[in-house]
């Protein structure tokens, strides 16, 4: 960067772990107060990083990113890497718990004995 008089000036941007330079970062309070404005920015293709006490906790991105994830999932299904479930989570939760012939707490404790 040049300044008046022909000298040069270095631009120093402090590094903050987790903060993405160039991406809009907002606090939770600001996000709540200006949700419509921030969602409009995301709708236009922007990304917003949400901070809690200066630390990133979430990122708002356009749904196009989700479409890419869906395409990846579909590709993995076609290749046989993953097998999609055949039932909904609600139906699974309605079923009675499995009856096992072992005590899971005891098995877990035995497995962890060598770590003490």
Residue 78 within any structural domain of the chain: no
Provide the number of structural domains found in the chain. Answer: 1
Q: DSSP letters of 37-71?
A: HHHHHHHTT--EEEEETTEEEEEE--THHHHHHHH
pLDDT (tens digit per residue) in 21-32: 667 899 999 999
CATH of the domain at 43: 3.40.1620
Would you say residue 29 lies in a domain?
Answer: yes
Q: Domain for residue 35, yes or no?
A: yes
Q: Is residue 4 part of a domain?
A: no
**CA-based nearest residue to 26, from 11, 41, 14:** 41
Residue 16 lies in a domain: no
The pLDDT of residue 3 is above 60: no
pTM for the whole structure:
0.43
Domain hosting residue 28, numbered range: 24-61
At residue 98, φ and ψ (nearest 5 deg) are -65, 145
Q: Please check whether residue 53 lies inside any domain of the structure.
A: yes
pLDDT tens digit string along 71-93? 888 899 999 998 888 777 777 77
Dist. CA 44–CA 24, nearest whole Å: 13
Residue 77 covered by a domain: no
């Amino acid at each position: 960067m040049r300044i008046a008089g022909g000298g040069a000036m270095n631009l120093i941007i402090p590094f903050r772990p987790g903060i993405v330079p160039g991406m809009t970062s907002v606090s939770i309070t600001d996000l709540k107060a200006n949700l419509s404005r921030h969602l409009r920015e995301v709708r236009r293709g922007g990304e917003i990083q949400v901070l809690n006490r200066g630390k990133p906790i979430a990122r708002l991105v356009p749904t196009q990113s989700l479409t890419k994830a869906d395409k990846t999932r579909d590709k993995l299904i076609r290749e046989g890497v993953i097998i999609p479930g055949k039932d909904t989570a609600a139906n699974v939760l309605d079923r009675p718990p499995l009856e096992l012939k072992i005590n899971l707490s005891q098995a877990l404790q035995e497995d962890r004995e060598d770590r003490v």
